Amino acid sequence: DTAVSQTPKYLVTQMGNDKSIKCEQNLGHDTMYWYKQDSKKFLKIMFSYNNKELIINETVPNRFSPKSPDKAHLNLHINSLELGDSAVYFCASSQGGTKGYEDFGPGTRLTVT
């Protein structure tokens, strides 16, 4: 299946821990993204990479660090997790440019206790 996949689907962890979420796309897209969807269902962009290069970096705490080893993968590492980090994190990809639409992964529901 051609798609955007991410692991894990659910992540429950304690405050202060460090965790990673992995994302892979086999759509041949050039651009990948991380979005955060909060409890009010607002979907907000965090980062965007084009061909492994960071092109969008929203006002996100520097505890969040994306890494793109190649254009098919974009991982998100979060240090010193806080209660407010609880949300659903979606990875997405697009062909890039201003007209491509984003294909979203299934999401990772992060719960920080």
Partner 1 sequence: GQNIDQPTEMTATEGAIVQINCTYQTSGFNGLFWYQQHAGEAPTFLSYNVLDGLEEKGRFSSFLSRSKGYSYLLLKELQMKDSASYLCAVKNQGGKLIFGQGTELSVKP
Nearest partner of 34 among 70, 4, 75, judged by Cα? 75
> Can you tell me the distance from the alpha carbon of 5 to that of 80, in angstroms, rounded to the nearest whole number?
25
Collapsing DSSP to helix, strand or coil, 12 comes out as strand
Question: Any contact of residue 51 with partner 1 (CB under 8 A)?
Answer: no
Question: Any contact of residue 67 with partner 1 (CB under 8 A)?
Answer: no
Collapsing DSSP to helix, strand or coil, 85 comes out as helix
Rounded to the nearest whole angstrom, what is the least distance from the CB of residue 102 to partner 1 in the complex? Answer: 6
Nearer Cβ to partner 1 (48/68): 48
**What residues pair up with 70 in beta bridges, in sequence order?**
73
> Can you tell me the distance from the alpha carbon of 30 to that of 37, in angstroms, rounded to the nearest whole number?
23
Nearer Cβ to partner 1 (64/104): 104
User: Rule CB under 8 A: which of 74-93 touch partner 1?
Assistant: 90
How many residues touch partner 1 under the rule CB under 8 A: the total is: 20
Question: Any contact of residue 69 with partner 1 (CB under 8 A)?
Answer: no
State the residues that interact with partner 1 by CB under 8 A.
40-45, 48, 55-56, 90, 97-99, 101-107
